[in-house]
Structure 1
């Protein structure tokens, strides 16, 4: 049977990709951020997961304001990146996983999640930056990826509680799959940040640290928040915590925190990193 062996939370800020492209990782501005990633990379290289399920949000590359599914899952054999207009270089194709992704999609629909199933989709920095962070030099081709896209841009957006329930359903689906696969989950985005408006540059460090603690020990407490709460406490883009909650919902067994880092500001964002080991 497939098993979930762990999870990672990480920022997906476009500027991270630009910093890596321009070899800025050890400059004073970026060093405290990038120095946190080698332990996570080492764990991934040791565990050698077969599949990574990435919870992310699309920022207009595949799903713009004219069509924005609440939840979408990719079932393709390959995913392409494209120029998003942020100045990030496009990356080589991402390898998809078709059998497990179709199993998850089918299971979700049978369990009353009306998810958009995408046999073709372009993936933006929400997915590509985490992959590049974990496997620098575009060394991610050996890992099969299942993208799970959550609407965090356009009202109405799914609630934190609903995203957590989506993760729970995906976790059950993965662990009912009849092939021996080791699966790692990525919860991407966040934490607190607001990129425009009167509160542009807003960061709530106390809230971010509290979220990191509760993701590990008491995720249900975070599901009591509304999206309006997240925007008020964590900035307009603070709703990206919903990707972390979906990831956490899929972890049904015992959690061990192996590594964490928090650094702010990075590109006007509070950037949190967690490495969680999962076992039944």
Structure 2
């Protein structure tokens, strides 16, 4: 059967993608950030996942105010990089895994999660920057990808508890798929940042690191699931709510996890960057 063998959490700051595309990763400003992913790149080259379920939020590239799905799953065969206003990133097309994606969609809907099924869409930096951070700049991505898009842009976003439960349901779906596949699940976005208003540039390193601690614990996620939207907004800025997407990844790993790698860096552009690699324990 298919199995989820690891979880990855990472920020998806668009400026990170630009730094890679413009060959600035060795510059003093960027080098410490990218150094924190050296271990992860070596690790994933050894792990060789067949499929990554990549949880991210769209930034008005595939969705706009005409349609705002709370949870959407990509079941297509291929996704092109989105033009976010300055041209598409020079990265490979993302190749999907329709058989597993449709299986997950069916399982989730029968498990009472109302998923929006997407067969055609372009994917923006929320999805391509994490791939670049973990795989570098290959001619083709070395695994297939199932995009799971979450609304954290327009009120109301889903609760942390709902995201955790979705992760648990995704794990059940993967485990019921008969093909032998090495599957990873990634949660992206965050950490603390605010892009506008009087608090623009807000970074709360203390809160971020406590969140990383909670993500790394072996438990049922009660403390994480109890964090309310207002706390994310108050403590981590208007865009910090993206961290609920990490809970989908964490919920999919089960109660017991082994932390393999952790990285935190401030700043990248005006954002705090966090990164975790976790392994489920039997």
Given the two structures, how large is their TM-score scaled by the length of structure 2? 0.96
> Is the 8 Å Cα contact of residues 135 and 141 (structure 2) preserved in structure 1?
no
Structure 1 residue aligned with 2:226: 224
Number of aligned residues: 280
1:242 Cα deviation after fit? 0.9
Tell me how large the CA RMSD over aligned residues is: 1.3
Structure 2 residue aligned with 1:15: 15
Matches within 5 A, 1:183-194: 183-194=183-194
CA distance in 2, matches of 1:163, 1:154: 16
Structure 2 residue aligned with 1:29: 29
Matches within 5 A, 1:1-280: 1-85=1-85, 89-217=89-217, 218=219, 219-252=221-254, 254-280=256-282
1:140 Cα deviation after fit? 4.6
Unaligned regions of 5+ residues in structure 1, if any?
Answer: none
1:82-134 superposed Cα distances (whole Å, 9 cap, x missing partner)? 21025662422111001111110000110111110011111110000111111
SS at match of 2:258: strand
> Is the 8 Å Cα contact of residues 131 and 140 (structure 1) preserved in structure 2?
no
CA distance in 2, matches of 1:220, 1:190: 20
CA distance in 1, matches of 2:81, 2:171: 27
Bigger drift between 213-222 and 46-55 goes to 213-222
CA distance in 2, matches of 1:195, 1:179: 43
CA distance in 2, matches of 1:249, 1:194: 26
